[in-house]
């Protein structure tokens, strides 16, 4: 409360709220999340290269609907199995979701082959 109520009147007015949680702060937090996701993507890239036949094979194997996209549940399954194969604890749900959102550059709720290739195939 003390951090947000900058004028000390015991209330949080609109301006105080916006200065703490408004668009500028949200953008800052979003940038931080994306930077963390990119760092984790490097780790996943490394794990896939060591524990799967190929990046494209991983996509094909976990595209259980065979529609050329990965839904979040399919991507999450891939991540869980990948970390299990590597003998590591898998990232938390929120981290996996951030990773998914980082790869889904079109923001359409699925990862297609082009987005997958952009993230992993170099």
> What are the tens digits of pLDDT across the range 7-18?
888 888 877 777
Q: How large a percentage of the chain has pLDDT more than 90? A: 57
Q: What is the pLDDT of residue 23?
A: 66
Give the residue among 68, 84, 120, 85 at the shortest CA–CA distance from 99: 120
Choose the CATH number for 36-120 among 2.40.50.100, 3.30.1490.20, 1.20.1580.10, 1.10.238.10: 1.10.238.10
Q: Is the pLDDT of residue 105 over 80?
A: yes
Give CA–CA dist 107/115, Å, rounded: 10
| pLDDT score for 30 | 75
Which range, 28-37, 94-103, 108-117, has the best average confidence (pLDDT)? Answer: 108-117
Mean of per-residue pLDDT scores for the chain: 88
Give the domain ranges of the chain: 36-120
Number of CB atoms found within 10 A of residue 120's CB: 18
Would you state the pLDDT for residue 39? 84
């Amino acid at each position: 409360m003390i951090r947000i109520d900058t004028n000390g009147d015991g209330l949080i007015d609109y301006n105080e709220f916006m200065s703490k949680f408004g668009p500028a702060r949200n953008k800052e937090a979003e940038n931080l999340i994306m930077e963390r996701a990119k760092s984790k993507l490097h780790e996943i890239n490394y794990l896939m290269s060591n524990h799967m036949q190929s990046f494209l094979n991983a996509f094909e194997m976990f595209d259980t609907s065979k529609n050329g996209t990965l839904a979040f549940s399919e991507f999450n399954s891939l991540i869980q199995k990948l970390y299990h194969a590597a003998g590591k604890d898998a990232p938390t749900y929120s981290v996996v979701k951030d990773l998914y959102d980082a790869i889904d550059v079109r923001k359409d709720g699925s990862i297609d082959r082009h987005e997958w290739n952009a993230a992993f195939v170099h």
